[in-house]
Each structure stands twice: as C-alpha cells, then as structure tokens.
Amino acid sequence: MVLVALHGERGRFGGRVRLGIPADRTQWSDVADQLAECLISAGQEGAPRPTAIIVYLCQEPAEGENGRDVRDRLQPFAQRLRTACGALDVPVLEALCLSNGRFWSYCCPDFRCCPADGTPMVMPGTSVMAAAAAYAGMQVRGSLKEMEARLRPRTGQRAAEQEKALDAAARALVPRMLRPDGAAIVRKDTLDLAAAMIHRFRQDTPTGSNRARDACDDALITNAEAASLILGLQDRVTRDRAAEWMDGTAAAPALRLWRALARRCAGGYAEHATAPLTLAGWVSWSTEDGPSARVALGCALSLDPGYTFAQLLHRAINEGLDPEPLRRCLREQHQEATSAAACAPGSGAKRSPSAKRPAPGRTAPAGRPRAPRGGTGPGARTTGGRGGRRSGHDDRSRR
C-alpha cells in the first residue's frame, strides 16, 4: 500500500509512505492510524500540511481469487485508511485497488468511468520514461513480488529441517543464558559467527539471476549456523552491533547474509525474520538502495508492526532523511566497543556485551570451507525434536 500526499489546488505530489498490506486483518486499524499520522505529521514538520491524500492498495490475487475478489477483500482496509486520514482533517481524494493488471476505485460509484470489471492498466515499459531509462542504462530490480520472494522463508522439506535446527538451538540457548555472564557470552559468540559468515560470503560472490545467487548464498550456511544467528539476533544489543556492517566491503556480503537468514525463518519461527529483515533494510538504505530497503522493512513490519527499529528506519526513508548520522553513531559505537575490549582484563569469555568482535575482513571461515556454487547445501543438517519455547530471549529485548 502507498499513501501519497497532495498539496495545493493543483494537487502537487508531496511526501509518501509505503508498507506491505498486513495479512492479519486485526492489524489493519492500527496500521491505518500509524500510516496516516506518519504521512500527515511528517508533512507538518518539513512542508505545508497536505490538502488531500491518494491511497493505492496493490496486491495480486491469491490462488482461487481474481482481481474483483481482491478489491472486495481490501475494501474494509481502504475504508479504514480513509477514516484515519479524515480524523486528522485531511480527506482521501481517491483510493484505488490495483490487482491482476486492472484497477478499481473505492471512491467513485459511477460505472461509466469505473466499471465493475476494473480498468486495464498501461503495460509497464511502454512509456517514454521507460524508454529513456533503458537508454540511460538504468536497471530494474524486478517487480515487488520478485523482490519479496527473495525474503520469503523456505517451504517443504528444507523448511522442516531448518525448523528442527531452530528447535535444537533454542533448547541449547536457555541453559547458556542462565549461566553467569551468559548473555554477554551469547552476544559475543553470535557476533563472532556473523563475522565469520560475512567473511565466507565475501570469499564466494555468486553470479547469474537473483534466484541463482540466492541459492548459492543458501548453500554457504548450514542449518545449525543459521539457527544460532537467527536466535542470537533476537537480542536488541546483538542486533545493534550487527548493524555496524553497513558500508564498505562488508555491506554487500552482510546484506546477502541477512537475506539468507530471513529465508531460514521457517514454520513457527516466521516472526524471528523481523530482525534480519530490518538489518537487510538498514544495509540497503545505507548503500542507497531505497526500493530494496522499503521492501525489506515492509516485510519486517508486516510480521511485527511494533518493531521499533524497523518503524524508525521506515519513517526516516519516507521522510527522505540522510542515513549518514546513523552511520556515524554506529561507527562511534564500534570504536567505543573496540576501546572497551582493549582495556578489559581477563579472557574473551568475561568481556562485556560491547566486546570487540573480529573484523569481517580478517576472520577465518568458521567450521568448514565454502560450498561450491550450485550445491544443494553445506554439510550435514542438524536435527532435533521440538522444544517447548521458540526462543531463549525475552521479547522485550527485540525492539
């Protein structure tokens, strides 16, 4: 869904907000209020108050659906968005549903201009702008559906095997967290493993289509390694330290790792993808890939609309802010952690949560050599029964 602010009598386009449509209908009311407030209050801070808003709801039909079914299913959400904007004294001038190559209006009742079967959309790539972009060498990242597919969790047998590995890792994590300094040790181990994975990913850069590159990345990390990282990143401190891999030579392999981890959050661990998705969105924004950042953060917020880090990043992108101040803060955080680790007495196991982690470029690969390209998976898979709890961390630490 996209909300666009209009300004003045001629309807000049202003700010916009974009988010994935939540699959859970109980979230529609809260999401509508947050989007309306974000767009209108952002306009008040840096620009004149919007005079109107246009709403776009874009979703392809599910199996057994057609475009009209999507229109009818999303109509309550469109009405809730109109109500949320109206409550802030900004009317919705038009609300459109785009699905299956057609669009419908939720505001116009005249079937002469808005037929019940919808209005066909202009085929992409047929405009003068599209031709000019192709001539200038601008590359298309793919459709929204293709971009989201790179972040979707595994299915089938591979998903079942990964879920078993996550169960086993969760069972092992609880007693470790209960030991003295257990949280600090788990954080350090998670960051060390992430550094080793980033080094491994950097040593093997795949080529080909997005699907082929993602398959090669999936082959570079075992189920057990993925499970340890996924559970470790649920801790806020660990996640914030992992966000330091945001630029330079570490950015590209880090982004590939976060995407691979998001694809490993299978079955009952689907919501655990919020952390790696948010990190993927942050690295994309930091490397000036706004569209990919919006998609990743939209997927994260669709899983957990209250995830604070994703909320802040999503709003910053929508308001057109510069990521450099946040990058500067993370660099200072890394320097402070490095200094603290250098001054801390004792062994690495006794270090504080801010202990220095190995630099990605100098860390030896963990556990095994890199997998050959096109392989089906690295090494033996970890299996185990299901545990009673999905994670050993308090949910409050994940914000």
Q: Give pTM, 2 decimals.
A: 0.62
Mean pLDDT check: name the lowest of 134-148, 261-275, 340-354. Answer: 340-354
Residues 216, 94, single domain; the answer is: no
Distance CA 50, CA 14 (A): 8
Residue 22: name the closest of 59, 72, 63 by CA: 59
Question: Contact, 239 vs 275, CB < 8 A?
Answer: yes
Please state the domain count of the chain: 2
Q: Is pLDDT at 245 greater than 90 in this prediction?
A: yes
| Structural domain for 9, as ranges | 2-117
Residues 103, 192, single domain; the answer is: no
What's the distance, Cα to Cα, between the start and end of the chain in Å? 24
Q: What pLDDT was estimated at residue 239?
A: 95
Residues 96, 184, single domain; the answer is: no
Q: How confident is the model at residue 84 (pLDDT cuts 50, 70, 90)?
A: very high
Contacting residues for 98 by C-beta, under 8 A, at least 6 apart: 56, 57, 58, 59, 121
- Residue 278 CA to its chain's centroid (Å): 4
Q: What pLDDT was estimated at residue 352?
A: 38
Q: How confident is the model at residue 200 (pLDDT cuts 50, 70, 90)?
A: very high
Q: What pLDDT was estimated at residue 348?
A: 46
Asked, for residue 122, whether it belongs to a domain, the answer is: no
To 10 degrees, what angle do helices 274-286 and 251-263 make?
150
Strands 92-99 and 2-7: unpaired
Residues 258, 370, single domain; the answer is: yes
Asked, for residue 268, whether it belongs to a domain, the answer is: yes
Residues 221, 267, single domain; the answer is: yes
Domain CATH code at residue 45: 3.40.140
Q: Which two tokens stand for residue 56?
A: 């776009």
Q: Is pLDDT at 143 greater than 90 in this prediction?
A: no
Q: What are φ and ψ of residue 81, in 5° steps?
A: -65, -40
Q: How confident is the model at residue 219 (pLDDT cuts 50, 70, 90)?
A: very high
Q: Which amino acid is at 377?
A: G
Q: What pLDDT was estimated at residue 385?
A: 40
Residues 267, 196, single domain; the answer is: yes
Highest mean pLDDT among 147-156, 193-202, 328-337, 379-388: 193-202
Residues 189, 309, single domain; the answer is: yes
Question: Contact, 274 vs 304, CB < 8 A?
Answer: yes
Residues 372, 295, single domain; the answer is: yes
Asked, for residue 199, whether it belongs to a domain, the answer is: yes
Q: What are φ and ψ of residue 360, in 5° steps?
A: -55, -35
Q: Is pLDDT at 203 greater than 50 in this prediction?
A: yes
Asked, for residue 141, whether it belongs to a domain, the answer is: no
Asked, for residue 76, whether it belongs to a domain, the answer is: yes
Asked, for residue 139, whether it belongs to a domain, the answer is: no
Distance CA 311, CA 179 (A): 33
Q: Which amino acid is at 352?
A: S
Residues 275, 193, single domain; the answer is: yes
Give strand pairing partners of 12.
7
- Among 98, 117, 136, the domain boundary falls at 117
